[in-house]
Structure 1
Amino acid sequence: MRLPRPLPPLLSLRAFEAAARLLSFSHAAQELFVTQSAVSHQIQKLEADLGVALFERRTRSVELTSAGVAYYARVHDAFELLRLGTQEVRAPSVERTSLTVGILASFATRWLAPRLQAFSAACPRIDLQLRPEIALADVPGGEVDVAIRYGLGGWRGVHAQRLMTERLSLVCAPSLVAGRKRPREPQDLLRFPLLTSYSRQSFEWDAWSRRFGLDLTQSQQVHLHDYNIVVEAALAGQGIAMGRHRLIARQLASGALVEALPDARLDHSRIGWWFVTPKGNLGAAASAFRDWLAEAAKEDALEPTH
């Protein structure tokens, strides 16, 4: 009984199929990421194994012989079957979604960044693209998909869901209020520069001063671009800052910042961090990010004030 001859090498068949389909050794070489001479060598091996010429070599082109045309039809069909079979068996690729988030740099660096690994573990298919902006990004216009903002809420043209309220108190470097320099009442704060960050409305300073009876009209205020700069200036002893406890918990715990008036804390029902979205239904990625933020906010509960 005669044994069937073995099939030609797969490399030779791949080179032939590509060259016959493209009618070009050089184009086949580019597709297969090999040299043109390698394609030519594999086809010569195949022709020697089959004992027939598959191509007519011309000066600037190649053409299939009648044997090449017949063989290409079979080889091409075989490669198509392999491709389809592989597609059916291969595990589906994991689709990833990008979510662009407008966010204050201070919140991104001081609250969100330490939690990003937890988010990636919970939502591995979502790639967050953080876009730090001072002003509210154009959420309805599609500049960002969603935003996280600080304030009182109530922005026009968007839906805002409060994630967590903020606790406010006046903070500074310990050396600034050491010994006799320590303020005893709100009026004593006017002896110090007050560090403020950019805001269209100074809602936190206004709310705090109304609550504790401080007239800010005579205060020396230093306006800084971003809350991160405010914190760094306070750490350097440059003045007294409005402390947002969600963002400066680590500095308060270490003693790098202290409360200038420990008994003058403000827990406002509306001042806080908001998840801002376009009006209407949210996409799956935005909904997942919102739900994760809500859970993370619950875990970041503030200690009760005394």
Structure 2
Amino acid sequence: MPRLDEPLTHDLPPLLTLRVFEAVARHLSFIRAADELAVTQSAVSHQIQKLEHHLGVPLFVRRTRSIDLTPEGGAYYVKVRRALECIAEGTREIRYSKSRNTPLKVSLLSSFATHWLAPRLAEFSLANPDVELQLMPSIELTSVGAGAAHLAIRYGEGEWANVKSSLLMRERLSPVCSSGYLAKHGPFESATDLCDGPLLMSYAHRHFEWEAWSTRHRCDLSRIPKIMLHDYNIVLEAAAAGQGIAMGRHRLIERRLIEKTLVEAVPNFAYEGSIGYWLVAPDGPIDQSAGRFVDWIRRAGAAHVLASLGDGIDEQN
């Protein structure tokens, strides 16, 4: 028996020839092996001839319309198959160990995590029990691909440097308030009627939602009183408590609109443009766990948009 520290170079044939041999021996067909390996039939024949030359014996009996294994080929196939299965098993163990021991870190706003992602997470966990998902709510734009987070879901217009961003869902925006606030201060028939405010906003470098909405509907918000709150979850709670008018992100507040804990302040004055939720990945390859999460959240986002269209939620005004 050879020692574990002895080199295998002398006895090992080119490893590509073994993969080709296993496929041909399993199918007993050069054509089907070529289809499986996505190469030409002549390339398969060349690799088999190369292996037979290395071994010094024929591995197949070639007939007009079929092939069969020689006795040497049959015995060799059993050992090659066993060796390749061992390699595949070791690969699976490493992949599983890596995905199991390394949490998949996703950076996102707490409002998106609370109102959209959390109610859907059971579906992802059920389909991917080996992936430990770690949500990292943050107002800051956490960098991805540098250890801080593997992926991010950001809200805005999709302009971030040194990352790949792709639109997950477009947002529909309109001012919302409580029904009690509307009864006391309304009705508001146009955007300019919101002059008394106050407008409820979360801290940000730029309030692009209100800017886009006011530009679309040609109204000046600069003189309207404003209340700045820590994040969008608090903004929603304050609006539901009758404290003012918030910019409603319809993807996140669908249930509140259905239950009428929030209502649209100005009927038929919505905005739907470039603002939305963006899937952000590092500018390079991502690992298997991240890829599975990306595939899942894309499907979940598309299903939500389709359902919203069916319910009439996304109808243009």
TM-score, with structure 1 as normaliser: 0.67
- Taking the aligned partners of 2:117 and 2:185, their CA distance within structure 1 comes to 38
Q: 2:126 aligns with which of 121, 124, 134?
A: 121
What letter corresponds to residue 244 of structure 2 in structure 1?
G
Which residue of 2 is the match for residue 168 of structure 1?
173
Which residue of 2 is the match for residue 274 of structure 1?
278
Q: Which segments of 5 or more consecutive residues in structure 1 lack a partner in the other structure?
A: 1-87
Which residue of 2 is the match for residue 200 of structure 1?
205
- Taking the aligned partners of 2:272 and 2:93, their CA distance within structure 1 comes to 50
Deviation at 1:121, TM superposition (A): 1.4
Deviation at 1:184, TM superposition (A): 1.2
Deviation at 1:180, TM superposition (A): 6.6
Deviations 1:262-299 (A, max 9, x none): 2001111x200011111011111111111101100011
- Taking the aligned partners of 1:140 and 1:126, their CA distance within structure 2 comes to 18
RMSD (Å), alpha carbons: 1.8
Which residue of 1 is the match for residue 215 of structure 2?
210
Deviation at 1:165, TM superposition (A): 0.4
Q: Is the CA contact 1:140–1:157 (under 8 Å) kept in the aligned structure 2?
A: no
- Taking the aligned partners of 1:150 and 1:295, their CA distance within structure 2 comes to 18
Q: Is the CA contact 2:189–2:267 (under 8 Å) kept in the aligned structure 1?
A: no
Deviation at 1:179, TM superposition (A): 6.4
Q: 1:285 aligns with which of 284, 289, 292?
A: 289
Which residue of 2 is the match for residue 235 of structure 1?
240
- Taking the aligned partners of 2:132 and 2:222, their CA distance within structure 1 comes to 46
Other structure's SS at 1:216 match:
coil
Q: Is the CA contact 2:145–2:151 (under 8 Å) kept in the aligned structure 1?
A: no
Deviation at 1:140, TM superposition (A): 4.0
Q: Is the CA contact 1:101–1:144 (under 8 Å) kept in the aligned structure 2?
A: yes
Q: Is the CA contact 2:181–2:244 (under 8 Å) kept in the aligned structure 1?
A: yes
Structure 1 position 186 matched with structure 2 position 191? yes
- Taking the aligned partners of 2:209 and 2:197, their CA distance within structure 1 comes to 18
Q: Which segments of 5 or more consecutive residues in structure 2 lack a partner in the other structure?
A: 1-88
- Taking the aligned partners of 1:226 and 1:147, their CA distance within structure 2 comes to 18
What is the number of equivalent residue pairs in this alignment? 216
What letter corresponds to residue 255 of structure 2 in structure 1?
R
Which residue of 2 is the match for residue 59 of structure 1?
none
- Taking the aligned partners of 2:145 and 2:206, their CA distance within structure 1 comes to 22
Which residue of 2 is the match for residue 85 of structure 1?
none
Which residue of 2 is the match for residue 23 of structure 1?
none
- Taking the aligned partners of 2:262 and 2:199, their CA distance within structure 1 comes to 15
Larger deviation, residues 174-183 vs 97-106: 174-183
Which residue of 1 is the match for residue 299 of structure 2?
295
- Taking the aligned partners of 1:262 and 1:216, their CA distance within structure 2 comes to 18
The 5 A counterparts of 1:6-25 are none
Deviation at 1:125, TM superposition (A): 1.4
Q: Identity of aligned pairs, percent? A: 47
The 5 A counterparts of 1:14-93 are none
Other structure's SS at 2:242 match:
coil
Which residue of 2 is the match for residue 7 of structure 1?
none
Q: Is the CA contact 1:134–1:198 (under 8 Å) kept in the aligned structure 2?
A: no
Which residue of 1 is the match for residue 143 of structure 2?
138
What letter corresponds to residue 292 of structure 1 in structure 2?
W
Q: Which has the larger radius of gyration?
A: 1
